[in-house]
Amino acid sequence: MPYTLDRLTAGSYDLLLDGTVIGGGVRDITADGEVRRWRAELLDDLPPAQRPKPFIEIEHRFDALEEVAAWLGDAA
């Protein structure tokens, strides 16, 4: 599963699977500017059987962007 993360702005990435945008990687920031977590999320609310692996849910949370990339099979 060749995933890539394409940076849009600081804290925001397109999530591509085989060159097609299927979701995003987004950094959550508190009102005082503190980084909380990262989310990997699908654009479409697909039924579980149609979600690309490793997505079990529409959205997954991580402590760091590096964790998102590793979870996606070391996405570039």
SS (H, E, C) the chain: CCEEEEEEECCEEEEEECCEEEEEEEEEECCCCCEEEEEEEECCCCCHHHCCCCCCCCEEEECCHHHHHHHCCCCC
The reply to whether 18 falls in a domain is yes
Which pLDDT tens digit goes with each residue over 32-72?
A: 877 679 999 999 999 999 999 999 999 999 999 999 999 99
The reply to whether 76 falls in a domain is no
Give the number of domains in the chain.
1
* pLDDT interval class at 1 (50, 70, 90): low
The reply to whether 41 falls in a domain is yes
Q: What is the pLDDT of residue 40?
A: 97
